[in-house]
Structure 1
Amino acid sequence: MNIEKSNIAKLPTKHGNFKIKAYKDDYQEHLAIMSEDFEKIEVPYVRIHSECLTGDALGSLKCDCQEQLNLALDFIAKNGGLVIYHKQEGRNIGLFNKVNAYSLQDLGRNTIEANLELGFKEDERDYSIIGYILEDLGVKKLKLITNNPKKIEYVESLGIQIVERIPAIIEANKYNEKYLATKKEQMGHLL
C-alpha cells in the first residue's frame, strides 16, 4: 500500500484546539486529530472513528456516529490524545450503497440484513491504515475509546497495549434503537 502523509496543521474547533495530519492511501484519505499536547502523552486516549457523512455532517438520528464523534473530540480536547477519522463510509460500502442500505432499513431490514442483501459482508472495513497511523505517531500503548470488539481485536493484533477501554455510550432514540440493538446483539458491541 502506498501511503502519503501531510504536514501537521492547527485546527481550532468548537470542541477545542487540535493539530491535524492527513494520510492518503491507495483508496481513501484519513485524518489524525491530535490534542495540542499529544506528543507529550505517553499513553494517549485514542478513538478510531469510522466516517459517517449522514451522521457526522448531517446529524442523522438513525445512528450514534455524530454523538460518538462529539463525545470523543470533547474528551480528547480535555484529556489529551487522538481521534483517527477513518474514512470508510458505511462500514466501507460507500455512500451510494449506504443510502441503498438505508432504503432497505426503511422497509424493515436491520443494518446487517441490508448490507447482506446488497451483496456485502456485515462490515467491509479494512483497518490496515490505522496501524500505519499509530506507528507514524509513535503510539505503543493507548486507552481506547470504543464499543466495537473488532477495533479492540485489531489494535491488540498490532502489538499495541490497550491499557484501558473507555466506553462511548450514547443514549438511544426512537430512530436508532433497532440499529443499536443490532450492534449489541449481532455484532457484539459493548453497549
Structure 2
Amino acid sequence: METRYAHHPEDVKKQTTEELRKNFLVETLFEADHVHLTYTHNDRMIFGGVTPSQEELTIKLDKELGVSYFLERRELGIINIGADGTVILDGVEYEMKGRDGLYVGRGTKDVKFRSNDANNPAKFYINSTPAHHTYPTVKIDIKKIDPLHKGEQGTLNERNIYQYIHPNVCESC
C-alpha cells in the first residue's frame, strides 16, 4: 500500500511538475491479479483497484492499520467498472455487473473479489474510510440509481452524477 501525505497549499505552489506527480498522481489502479491501494492522510481514506483475473483476490491489511482485519474499524464502497464479477463478504456472494456498487459495513471480516471471465475481468474500484457505526451491507444496482443531471451542453459541462453511497441510497458513516 502506498501512502500519500497532506500538503499545505503554499508548499504545493512551489512544487515542480515531477514533485506534484510524485505526491499526488496514482498511475496504476487496475492490474490483472493485483490489489493496488493508496492510503491518504486526507480523511484517512484508502482507495484503489482490485482486478481479479486468474485468481480470487482479497484485501489483507491489518498490521498497517493496527487492527485484526481490514474492516474492523472501517467501511468500504465498491464499484465494478469492468466486466461481471463477484464480491464475497464473509461467505455471502454478491453478483456485480458492470457499474454496480456495493456498500460494505464495518465489521465484515472476509472480503474477496472474483471475475466471471478471466479474459475479461471485473475491475473493482474501492474506497474505504473510518467508521464509527456498523450499517448493513447494501447492493447498489446501477439501474436503480436516479442520476443527477447537471450542467449544460452549451458550456460543455453536461453530465450525469450517479450517487452510490448517499443517504438516498443507503446508510453509511
Quick check: TM above 0.5?
A: no
Normalising by the residue count of structure 2, what TM-score does the alignment of the two structures yield? Answer: 0.25
Looking at CA atoms only, which structure, 1 or 2, has the larger radius of gyration? 2
Q: Give the strand-richer structure, 1 or 2.
A: 2
